[in-house]
Structure 1
Amino acid sequence: MTEELPGDIGNPYSTLTTKEGWRAFVDEHPEPPAPLAPGAVLDAEELDSYQEARKDYHSSSVIVATPTIRKVVTTGRKRIVLNRHQVSARRGLIVSGSSGTGKTTAITQLGKNVEQLARRRNPAATAQLPVVFVTVPPAATPKMLAGEFARFLGLPLLHRMSQVQITNAVCDLLAQLGTTLVLVDEIHNLDLTTRYGAEASDQLKYLSERMAATFVLAGLDIETSSLFQGTRGQQIAGRYSVIPSRPFGRRNRGDREQWQALIVTLEESLRLHRHQPGTLLALDAYLHERTGGLIGSLSQLIREAAVEAIDSGAEKITKRTLDTVELDHTAEQARPKPASKRLGKKPKAA
């Protein structure tokens, strides 16, 4: 049976896993729509355009410099420096945690920081490609993994090409482009207890040896996965340090201050005409209860509520607005039930 390789990627700018999409991400600097002048009157078309611009702005995730992001960026940049003169056994980094804790955001912010710095240092090097971003596909084989790197680069892939041919083409091109950082997401898809997973892990190790670059990986709960098991796992554990990505807590003062700072940043980003600053901060306990401290769920909750506030004309977010937003299944399952439901009682008729 012939192994399938990645085919048509559609719009390359819609994904980070192509060089065009990655560059668009690095170049992106979302700006909020300009506020309306006092007394401004818009016709129907202008009003629709203005509303859509604000909804589009709120649909973009606000990047907050969380403790995890700061640690990943700081540690990742140090690893790049330490690996400059290493010819083998380069040290890497793994970001591990549950879903919604900001792992992908953390590594992509590291990549964005590294690429922007490289551009500032050498603005004339337009052909450089400091950062590569790929994801590990489910049930990945070594050839599929090499194909993901080729897909990012836009290398044409023929089904008759062997794994070795694809790997050599990828490594040769990345050496020419001066790549210093390789980001690999969804690393939990490498199951070392299976033949293909073990061989794909070997391929990733081989790529890290062939490329003069620092590898930063991210995945779900890597510490308890098969990635650190057996001889192969020991090699990975010996070269990579782990940065945990956890939900925000509220048990002590420091945790509460970090959670509140996150809410303040998200609230300050709102562009709603009648929203009172401090409203969301006053709901910090409720917001933690709704989201379980997951930054991904919190971002969705506030952004969707903002879009609803524009659509409804309320132009502000209230607890009632937030209550109407359906979050991801994990957050909804953890959401405390009303007392009447917990006790098995029927709610009183209004």
Structure 2
Amino acid sequence: MTTWQGWDRFATTDPPAPPRPGDPPRSTEERLAYHSAFVTIRTPAISTLATQVRTLMLLGRHQQTTARPSLIVTGPAAAGKTTALLNVGRTCHLAHIRKNPAPPGSAHAVVPVAYVLVPPGATAKTLVTEFARYLGIPVTARMTQTQITDAVCHTYTQAGVQLVMIDEIHRLNPRTTTGAQTADLIKDLSERLPATFVYAGINVTDTPLFSGTRGAQLAGRATLVDCGPLPARHGTRHPFRDVITDIENALDLTHHKRGTLPRHASYLHQRTAGRIGSLTRLIRQAAITAISDGTERITKATLEAIRLDHLAETHHRPRRDR
């Protein structure tokens, strides 16, 4: 998805659909593929991010003199940050092309969204080269960073990019020389491009990104969206159990009884520490196991038998000091 062709294919391909009453039963292979891809569960973070992005894009639409307001999606690993980012990016993409379809016979596609990953050990030049690669802008070894940046700004403006999403932003360290130059490049791009910037990274507020003069500039322009673990209870609501219910309703198992998984909400919260990524992986893996062994239902024993990511397993079964 870090090229326009890949992003466009992702955004315009219908996501997996849960089974609906009256639909013919799917084959085993179809159901295995479905639980592998699975649906995107609309979490509170996705709803908050969607509202914030829509508002800030309207807020900055006619802003000319300074960088538009931006967003930072932060949280621990496996908290659903990238999922939320991609979901909102897809929504923005589809809404824009519905309102602004390319003229018939036009050779120029509508490019409302850009998605870029900060490469490991990023320098300003390697990062701006990633921006160029997304739209297929030719880059030669002899080109300077300034030349590539100028080409990116011109092409992105001409293409009508309105939303720029930069993932893995925690890889930047403005305390180093290369990190400071890369942070300055992002600031330069955000001021030169008529687009809203959204960043995503692991526990961004705990990194050097918010320290020093450059950090103060970023913090002064960016709204923080916390994609942290979901609490088991928030006031009178039970957001984690609600997400479990949504996941269960999307399963395609022939013998699974609805209501089984929400009854294990406390266990699932302890098992995953409230992380959405770990939760969806656990239930999807249990569903695939249930299809493969023919039981076609998920029980607590099924869940307990599955080994999760190391982060979740360490939380669930902490090591004892000897």
Query: Where do residues 18-167 of structure 1 align in structure 2 (5 Å cutoff)?
Result: 18-29=3-14, 30-32=16-18, 50-87=27-64, 88-125=66-103, 127-167=109-149
1:180 correspondence with 2:162:
yes
Partner in structure 2 of residue 308 of structure 1: 289
**Which runs of no fewer than 5 residues in structure 2 stay unpaired?**
none
Structure 2 letter corresponding to 1:166: I
Shift of 1:330: 1.0
**Aligned AA for 2:315?**
A
Q: Which residue of 1 aligns with 2:269?
A: 288
The one of 187, 192, 217 equivalent to 2:199 is 217
Quick one: distance in 1 between partners of 2:110 and 2:234?
46
| Distance change in 2, residues 1:118/1:287 (3 Å) | same
Q: What CA distance in whole angstroms lies between the structure 1 residues aligned with 2:38 and 2:131?
A: 26
Counterpart contact for 1:289–1:336, Cα < 8 Å: no
Q: CA deviation at 1:101?
A: 1.2
Which residue matches 2:187? 205
- CA distance in 1 between partners of 2:130 and 2:149 (Å): 10
- How far does residue 156 in structure 1 lie from its aligned partner after superposition? 2.9
Which SS does the other structure have where 1:151 is aligned? helix
5 Å-filtered alignment, 1:218-257, equals: 218-254=200-236, 257=238
Provide structure 1 residue ranges, at least 5 long, that are not aligned to the other structure.
Answer: 1-15, 41-48, 345-350
Displacement of 1:129 in angstroms is 0.4
CA offset at residue 155 of structure 1?
2.3
**CA 1:179–1:37 in structure 2 vs 1: closer, same or farther (change >3 Å)?**
closer
Which amino acid is the alignment partner of residue 65 of structure 1?
A: R
Alignment partners' CA distance in 2, 1:171 and 1:73: 26
> Is the CA contact 1:187–1:219 (under 8 Å) kept in the aligned structure 2?
yes
Compare CA radii of gyration and give the structure with the larger one.
1
Q: 1: CA distance between counterparts of 2:138 and 2:295?
A: 51
User: Which aligned pairs between 1:320-339 and structure 2 lie closer than 5 A?
Assistant: 320-336=301-317
Letter in 1 for 2:79: T
Question: 1:84 Cα deviation (Å)?
Answer: 1.0
**In structure 2, distance between residues paired with 1:124 and 1:152:** 19
User: 1 CA distance for matches of 2:113 and 2:198?
Assistant: 11
> How far apart, CA to CA, are the structure 1 residues paired with 2:184 and 2:264?
48
CA shift for structure 1 position 124? 3.3
SS at 1:140 equivalent: coil
- Give the TM-score of the pair, scaled to structure 1: 0.85
2:115 partner SS: strand
| CA offsets 1:124-155 (integer angstroms, 9 cap, x no match) | 35621000000111211000110111111122
Aligned length: 316
Asked if 1:270 corresponds to 2:234, the answer is no
Q: Distance between the aligned counterparts of 1:288 and 1:253, measured in 2?
A: 17
Taking only the aligned residue pairs, the percentage that are identical comes to 45
Letter paired with 2:52: T
Per the alignment, do residues 52 and 95 of structure 1 end up closer, same or farther by CA in structure 2, a change over 3 Å counting? same
Change (3 A) 1:282 1:203: same
How far is the alpha carbon of 1:254 from its aligned partner? 3.8
Instruction: Return the alpha-carbon distance in structure 2 between the equivalents of residues 36 and 262 of structure 1.
Output: 25
Question: TM-score, normalised to structure 2's length?
Answer: 0.92
| Cα offsets for 1:222-275 (capped at 9, x unmatched) | 1121111111111111111211111011245545x2111101110011111111
AA matched with 2:199: L
Partner of 2:161, secondary structure, is coil
SS of the aligned residue for 1:314 comes to coil
Deviation at 1:301, TM superposition (A): 0.2
User: In the alignment, which residue of structure 2 is the partner of 1:5?
Assistant: none
Report the residue type matching 2:202 in the other structure: L
Aligned Cα RMSD in Å?
2.2
CA distance 1:35–1:55, shift in 2 (3 Å): farther
Give the Cα separation in 2 of the matches to 1:79 and 1:171: 21
- Is the Cα–Cα contact under 8 Å of residues 256 and 296 in structure 2 kept in the other structure? yes
